[in-house]
Amino acid sequence: MARNIILLGPPGAGKGTQAERLGRTYGVPKISTGDMLREAVAAGTPLGRVAREVMEAGRLVGDDVMVPIVEERLRRPDAAAGFVLDGFPRTVAQASALDRMLAGRGGVTVLQLVVPEETIVARLSGRRVCAACGANAAPGGHEATCGRCGGGFVQRADDGELVARERLRVHEAQTAPLVAYYRRRPGFTAVDGSQSPDAVERELRDAVAAGAPVPRR
């Protein structure tokens, strides 16, 4: 059975962490559009040049740019048995494009991480990520270097308080409506994302187990 999983939730809700865990559990790739864009920025590709300024301002890269990137990624063989999408879709236009891409590929499970805004702002402004591989540092900042690759920790360019607030505003305006788009589908579940990562992971796994995906509408 295909494990097609979409994670929804504001920036800082824990989508990246949980996407990685679920991907490992189900043996499917985590597909993070934010990671793909950051790699393009770091490599200085044409996409990176387009994306950099938009990302640093906390706004969204255009649907016309994002949809083909995801379409190409989902066509790769490692995503044939499923995937965990982190950060896509972010607009209703992206969600309906995704529906078209997934036609005939089995159902989707849509998991929403719900976290209060003040918790999010506190998390984002305290978040440190590895400059080399993007892994999150453990909250509290006790590790000096990344346990995965030995890189140093930095604040993400778009995690400063002002940009974080803009990302939340953009999320409310453009991404939050996706909950209404998906809510009535049988594969949709909302989970309290303010719990510990382990507790959130347990609830997400339960939701995946309970809602064997059903065909899209």
Q: Which residues bind ligand AMP (CB under 6 A)?
A: 11, 33-34, 37, 54-55, 58-61, 66, 87-88, 90, 94, 158, 167
Residues 106 and 2 sit within 8 Å (Cβ to Cβ)? yes
Which residue sits closest to ligand AMP, CB atoms considered?
Answer: 34
Residues 103 and 4 sit within 8 Å (Cβ to Cβ)? no
Annotated catalytic residue 217: no
Catalytic residue among 21, 52, 90, 128: 90
For residue 21, what are the CA distances in angstroms to 30, 35, 41, 69, 104?
9, 16, 25, 23, 26
DSSP 111: E
Catalytic residue among 21, 127, 128, 216: 127
Catalytic residue among 15, 21, 38, 128: 15
Taking the least distance from each CB to ligand AMP, the nearer of 23 and 87 is: 87
Within 10 Å of residue 175's Cβ, how many Cβ atoms? 23
Taking the least distance from each CB to ligand AMP, the nearer of 136 and 186 is: 136
Taking the least distance from each CB to ligand AMP, the nearer of 28 and 98 is: 98
Nearest distance from C-beta of residue 130 to ligand AMP, angstroms? 14
Q: Which two tokens stand for residue 12?
A: 């800082």
Q: Is the peptide bond before 29 cis (omega within 30 degrees of 0)?
A: no
Nearest distance from C-beta of residue 210 to ligand AMP, angstroms? 26
Task: Map residue 91 onto helix, strand or coil.
Answer: coil
For residues 193 and 71, what is the distance between their CA atoms, to the nearest angstrom? 28
Annotated catalytic residue 30: no
- For the chain, give the longest Cα–Cα distance: 48
Nearest distance from C-beta of residue 166 to ligand AMP, angstroms? 9
Nearest distance from C-beta of residue 93 to ligand AMP, angstroms? 10
Annotated catalytic residue 59: no
Question: Among 36, 44, 47, which residue's Cα sits nearest to residue 88?
Answer: 36
Catalytic residue among 3, 128, 167, 216: 167
Taking the least distance from each CB to ligand AMP, the nearer of 72 and 209 is: 72
Known catalytic residues are 15, 90, 127, 156, 167
